[in-house]
Structures are given as C-alpha cells and as structure tokens.
Amino acid sequence: MDFLDDDSDDESETYKLFGGKEGLVFLIDATKDMFSCHQFSLAIQCVENMMKNVAISSPSDEFAVVFFGTENTENESKFEHIFVVQKLQKPSADLISEIKTIAESHDFAAQFGHNSHYSLADVFSIALSQFTNSKSKFQTRRVVLLTCCSDPYSGNTSADKHMKKTAINRAKDFKDFDIEVELIPLGNQVFNRETFYEDVFPHLKNDDSFDTLIKLEPLLKRVHNKSHRQRMLASIPFRLGPPSPTNQSTDVQMSVYVYSMYLETKKPTAVKVDRETNREVVAEVQHWTKGSGTIVKANQMVKKFKFGSEEIILNNDALKASKQFEEPALTLLGFKPRSAIKTHLHFSGRVKYMGLLLRHFPSW
C-alpha cells in the first residue's frame, strides 16, 4: 500500500490513521419520513455490512447504534425519544444478528415507535457518552449521522430556536474530544445543509462529497472512504535541538506520527477457544506462598539480581523505573545530505524496520 498515494478515492483523508482501535457511533433517524422511501432500511443495511466487514478486517474496532426520533426511550440518561440499540462494543455474531432482525422486521412502529419531538443536543450527548463511558482507548473516534431531514427545527417558535441553539453548543463538544462527525443525507429529495447542519458542523462547508444517497453501494463506499486510515504505528514528540547545558529538554517540539514503509507480514498466532462457548480462552497465573498458601498479588512480587557478590531485590515498580531514563522522544541534532542515505540497507534484510515521520495535523 502506498501510504501517500495522491490518487486515492478520497484525497481529503490523506492523513487519516490506519492503525489502532477505532470507535464508531451510528446515529440513525427513525422518524416516519425515513420510512417513506426505504431510507431507514438503507441505513440499517449499511450498519450491518459495516459490522460484518469490520468483524473480519479489524475485530478490535467497536460500534454503537443509536436511534433518535422513536416513541420509546432506552438510554441511561433517560432522554426522550432516543433508543440506544447497542452500546459501544466489538462486533459479534449476536450483535450483527440483532441488527439484521431489525432490518428484516415489519413491526418497527410497534417495537420502537415514531416521534419527531426529539432534542438533537440530547442525541449528541448520548453519542459523546458512548466514548466517555467506555474503558477502551481509541485511536480515532467517529460519529456517523444518517438522516433525511435537512432542518429538524424549521419553525420560528422560541422552542425551535432554543433546540437549534442547544444543538450547536452541544456539537462543539465533539471537537473538544477530538471526535470526527460525518453527516450522510439519505433519500431522493434535495438536502440543503445550509439551513441547519452547516451551523451545527462548520466543517461541512468544505465537504464537496455531499450528495443524497438512495442506494446501498454508494452509501457503503462513502462510509468506507471516510474510515480509510493510513498505517500509523506510534506517536512521539519531535524535539528541534539538543538539550540545554542544564540537561533540560528544549521547549521547541511537535508531535509526529511514525508510519510503516516496509514491514514483513507474519502469520498470526493460533487462538485457543472454549469448546462449548467458542469464546477466546484467557490464561491466568496465580502465585501462592510455600508455607501458608496465601495468594501473592502482582504488586507484591519481587525479583532478585546478583551483581558481583551482592544480591539486589527490586519490586516491579522499581524495576520498571530503572529501565526508563526519560520520556521517549526524537531529537534533531543536525542535518546530512541526501546522498548519505544508504537505501540498499533498508531492503537487504539488514534493517528490520523502516519508518516515516509525518507531522500530526488535527482533524478539525
């Protein structure tokens, strides 16, 4: 893969990451208008296909599915007309089956109902809480909003103005938590984003790929293109200049990403699973004292090292501290001409790893 390929399907996504765990929250409009031309069915099929693909290609990624505009309410905050179908978690056969059942169901109105008097600010709060309440550490966080309504608060009443203002203010939290938001309009009608959503998400003004979708294949392509990420291996500070005479690091530094340019693909190790449940088996090790049989915890374990004629005992914390001299970073000491690069070493097998450094550009 060419990680800097200018001919990619979506050039605006050049600096997206392809490594680490991704969290993705689908916000799906469930009002009656979404059922007039099968837009809701299209959105559910998109979620189902995304889960199937990710379960194979990136099983560590996590999904959440939230309906808004429902009559029934199901969320921890008790916000009205918002139904959390699935909390943020890894895709599994049971979750995919649940989404498929909803897609094939003909009694959605009886199970969830319809109600257009929802608060979009509350919807954003639910999406944000999926990330803040999760114990997982995500490299990227995304929210995909699928709707056919370009202006949910088109009235001039004070209530509509208040709803619009609170939605704009709540949407700013996505930027504070470095969460990317993608608005995907559905249906065969004109979707005017200038009436409402450009005020909520200002970055939509620069989005040229903004057409209403009525078929599954273009919808899947849109979502897949937005999730295309480059292979980032690590993030590390890059210091411009050596430390000062007092051994203090320079204040002139920036964050850079380390990308893999050439890396051997190895066969994955075998995974042991339970015979009955087919779940992955996790090995646990416990230690007991020889005399009393008391369980020894990990923080109570010590290691003994022999230096000369003396024996030194270190616990795990002291041993870890002894291996770390300072925070990991790259320091620029000077420059060399390009002719000094020995490219043949990188492809002869004598160099095990070759990386590329690129400046980190925020997504907002």
pLDDT recorded at residue 265: 66
pLDDT recorded at residue 349: 63
Average pLDDT of the segment spanning 215-233:
63
Q: Within the chain, what is the greatest distance between any pair of CA atoms? A: 86
Q: Which domain holds residue 71?
A: 11-226
Distance, CA of 134 to CA of 23 (rounded, Å): 10
* Percentage of residues of the chain with pLDDT beyond 90: 25
Beta bridge partners of 260: 355
Residue 356 has pLDDT above 90, yes or no: no
**How high does pLDDT run on average in the chain?**
81
Residues 92 and 156 in one domain: yes
pTM over 0.75: no
Task: Provide the CATH number for the domain around residue 133.
Answer: 3.40.50.410
Q: In sequence order, what DSSP letters do the residues of 289-324 get, joined into one string?
A: -TTT-PEEPGGG-EEEEEETTEEEEEEHHHHHHHT-
Within-domain flag for 276? no
Residues 261 and 242 in one domain: yes
Do 93 and 59 contact (CB within 8 A), yes or no? no
Cite the DSSP H helix spans in the chain.
39-57, 93-104, 108-111, 120-132, 158-176, 197-200, 216-226, 316-322, 343-346
Task: Name the E strands within 206-252.
Answer: 232-240
pLDDT recorded at residue 178: 87
The torsion defined by the Cα of 292, 293, 299 and 303, in degrees rounded to 10, comes to: 80
Do 79 and 128 contact (CB within 8 A), yes or no? no
Do 133 and 172 contact (CB within 8 A), yes or no? no
CB atoms within 10 A of CB 244: 10
Write down which residue in 175, 209, 226 finishes a domain: 226
Q: Considering only 25-34, 47-56, 224-233, which range has the smallest mean pLDDT?
A: 224-233
Residues 336 and 218 in one domain: no
